[in-house]
Amino acid sequence: MRLLGAVLAGGRSSRFGSDKALAMLDGRTLLDHAAAALGAHVETVVICGRHVPGMTGLADRPAADMGPLGGLNAALHHAAAQGYDAVLTTGCDVPVYPDGLAQALIGDGAAILKGQQLAGFWPASLAGELDAHLAEENSRSIHGWLERVGARIVERPEFVLPNINRPEDLERFTFPRLG
């Protein structure tokens, strides 16, 4: 199975107070950490919602300010056009992607990690369905989309992912020990 990785990075970072994707952690941006962590599990990584030198950036689709679904929609269409079977996603504020998480998410249809709706598996065949969803009158929330496609909720407590929403979250963050 060909997997495209997509880091969803088009948010406003309102709780963080500045662009959290560019916040520094151990000498690298959160965005760099997220892309590298996801990259270990996929063929290629794209950044949704912004352009970053040296990385493939995709504009949110159909327009900016659509929330995470605009980035996911761009990734699904890119995946379908480039011959990928599915997309694995993460947020730009999640600097780790544990071994085994991809395998837990991959399956029949869409899936997310419980409590971390941006950590997901999305068949590329959902691109047209997401176009239709975004064209309708709805809140465009990820929760409505999950319900529409009947996404599996993967409950795996060993895959607790950090979510850095505020500067103090970044200050407290330490990388998990391996082994």
Annotated binding site for Mg(2+): 93
What is the helix (H) or strand (E) element at residue 148, kind and residue range?
helix 142-149
Positive or negative, the CA dihedral 87, 145, 169, 8 is positive
Which residue ranges make up the annotated binding site for GTP? 8-10, 20, 65, 93
Q: Detail the residues annotated as belonging to a binding site.
A: 8-10, 20, 65, 93
Q: How far apart are CA 80 and CA 83, in angstroms?
A: 5
d(CA 83, CA 109): 17
Q: Provide the 10 A C-beta neighbour count for residue 9.
A: 30
Taking the CA atoms of residue 68, residue 74, residue 77 and residue 79 in that order, the dihedral angle to the nearest 10 degrees is -90
Q: What residues does 45 pair with on adjacent strands?
A: 5
